[in-house]
């Protein structure tokens, strides 16, 4: 299965600022996924990141708040924009299916103060 | 669908006992299911999977049971150890979802020595 490196592992940010999270995969994968895990809750899909096209966002998530880049088949970034304390969560990237497995990065624990 | 609720259900077991963690999934069209283990500060770790054409699958100390009639999954852990303490999530997907997963609520397993 694929190995995913995600950074930063954690950050504390001021409200109103933005944070960009990076995700690097050791294999070329068609689709990458970004999830949010709010405190004490399960994982919710934010968007699907396809190389060469705009990301596809799930209901309740918008590009202005969570812009995503996918410049090549091994890398993606998620930006959390204009942060508020409600954005404090763990953000996770993953790849899915086939011989890559349904693998997750170690997550970015974001605290907004 | 998005997971609901602010607190994860907790299962407390004695070391050496067997644990059973249950999950109700949402989509009758789902044909692939995964159990994940998430330790504090880490991303979800793949434990075991099962396809909808199976009722049972066994791994090392773990067994997954699938009941499609009532859309129910269970994870059985034999001889539970303190290292099994974590949050366990089930996830579902189906053909042509391209790797998107829908996660269940999660259960926190606490193993008492």
Q: Is the pLDDT of residue A73 over 70?
A: yes
pLDDT confidence tier of residue A52, bands split at 50, 70 and 90? confident
Q: What is the mean pLDDT of residues A102-106?
A: 94
At residue B7, the pLDDT reads: 67
For residue B68, the model assigns a pLDDT of 94
CB contact under 8 A, B3 and A102: no
CB B77 within 8 A of CB B110: no
Find the farthest-apart pair of alpha carbons in chain A and give their distance in angstroms, rounded: 40
Q: Which residue of B has its CA nearest to A98?
A: B99
- The per-residue pLDDT for B3 is 39
Please report residues of B whose CB lies closer than 8 A to that of A42: 3, 89, 103-106
Distance from C-alpha of B25 to C-alpha of B46, rounded to nearest angstrom:
17
For residue A2, the chain B residue with the least C-alpha distance is B46
Q: Which residues contact A68 (CB under 8 A, 6 or more apart)?
A: A34, A47, A49, A55, A76, A77, A78, A79
pLDDT in tens, A31-46: 999 999 999 999 999 9
Q: Each residue of B52-86: pLDDT tens digit?
A: 999 999 999 999 999 999 999 999 999 999 999 99
> How many Å lie between the alpha carbon of A18 and the closest alpha carbon of chain B?
22
Mean pLDDT of A72-84: 97
Residues 18 through 47 of chain B touching chain A, CB cutoff 8 Å: 34, 36, 41-46
pLDDT digits (tens, 9 = 90+) for B38-49: 999 899 999 999
Q: Do A103 and B8 touch (CB under 8 A)?
A: no
The reply to whether B6 touches chain A by the CB within 8 Å rule is yes
């Amino acid at each position: 299965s694929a190995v995913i490196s995600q950074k930063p592992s954690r950050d504390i940010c001021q409200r109103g600022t933005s944070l960009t999270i990076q995700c690097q995969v050791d294999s070329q994968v068609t689709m990458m996924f970004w999830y949010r895990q709010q405190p004490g809750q399960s994982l919710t899909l934010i968007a699907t990141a396809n190389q060469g096209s705009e990301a596809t966002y799930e209901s309740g998530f918008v590009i202005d708040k969570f812009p995503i880049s996918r410049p090549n088949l091994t890398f993606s970034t998620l930006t959390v924009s204009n942060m508020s304390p409600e954005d404090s969560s763990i953000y996770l990237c993953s790849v899915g299916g086939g011989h890559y497995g349904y693998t997750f990065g170690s997550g970015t624990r974001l605290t907004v103060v | 669908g998005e997971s609901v609720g602010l607190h994860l259900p907790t299962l407390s077991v004695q070391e050496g006992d067997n644990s059973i963690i249950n999950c109700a999934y949402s989509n009758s069209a789902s044909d692939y299911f995964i159990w994940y283990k998430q330790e504090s500060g880490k991303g979800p770790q793949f434990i075991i999977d099962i396809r909808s054409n199976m009722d049972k699958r066994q791994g090392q100390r773990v067994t997954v049971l699938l009941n499609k009639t009532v859309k129910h999954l269970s994870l059985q852990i034999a001889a539970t150890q303190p290292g099994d303490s974590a949050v366990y999530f089930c996830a579902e997907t189906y053909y042509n979802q391209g790797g998107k997963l829908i996660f269940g609520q999660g259960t926190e397993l606490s193993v008492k020595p």
